[in-house]
């Protein structure tokens, strides 16, 4: 695997870096990836593969390149979301319903704000729910008075 820096963005004390990654496969195939490294994790922006990747291989691509890419770039692989779990777990953790659930959502939301990470993503990770469902939980926590209103409606 070969890694080249593409560009870097520094903002508010954090760094987001893009890298060009090339994987030469044993069968003569090649995968070119534009990967983003931020917060100790890897995201994929663009993929070009010859021959084309199967859907299963495409979903596993980030896992294939994450450790070697982080090692090559010298980035700490500890994510600010590490303690939260992954939002895409097949079996979301049990989450209390009603007032108790909204209280816990509010705690996760405020803790993420304090840590300077995306509070919606933190709720997604904690609950194992999609972005849409997490936003509904956050709205429920606001309606129940656990979070301040987003803005005054006129």
Of residues 148 and 79, more confidence is placed in 148
Domain count along the chain: 2
Judge whether 150 lies within some domain.
no
Q: What is the domain extent for residue 10?
A: 2-73
List the beta bridge partners of residue 50: 30
pLDDT average, residue stretch 23-47: 83
68 and 29 within one domain: yes
pLDDT average, residue stretch 27-56: 84
CA atoms within 13 A on the CB side of 35: 29
Phi, psi of 139 (to 5 degrees): -60, -40
120 and 100 within one domain: yes
Among candidate residues 30, 56, 73, the one where a domain is terminated:
73
- Cβ atoms of 65 and 35 within 8 Å: the answer is yes
Judge whether 19 lies within some domain.
yes
Cα separation, 53 vs 47, in Å, equals 9
Of residues 49 and 77, more confidence is placed in 49
- Cβ atoms of 141 and 147 within 8 Å: the answer is yes
């Amino acid at each position: 695997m070969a890694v080249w820096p593409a560009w870097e963005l520094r903002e508010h004390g954090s760094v987001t870096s893009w890298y060009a990654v090339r994987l030469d496969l044993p069968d003569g195939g090649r995968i070119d990836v534009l990967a983003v490294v931020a917060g100790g994790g890897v995201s994929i922006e663009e993929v070009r593969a010859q021959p084309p990747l199967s859907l299963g291989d495409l979903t596993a691509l980030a896992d294939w390149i994450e450790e070697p890419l982080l090692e090559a770039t010298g980035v700490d692989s500890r994510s600010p979301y590490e303690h939260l779990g992954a939002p895409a777990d097949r079996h979301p953790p049990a989450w209390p319903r009603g007032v108790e659930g909204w209280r816990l959502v509010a705690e996760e939301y405020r803790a993420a704000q304090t840590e300077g990470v995306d509070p919606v993503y933190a709720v997604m990770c904690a609950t194992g729910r999609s972005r849409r469902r997490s936003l509904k939980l956050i709205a429920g926590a606001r309606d129940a008075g656990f979070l301040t209103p987003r803005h005054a409606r006129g």
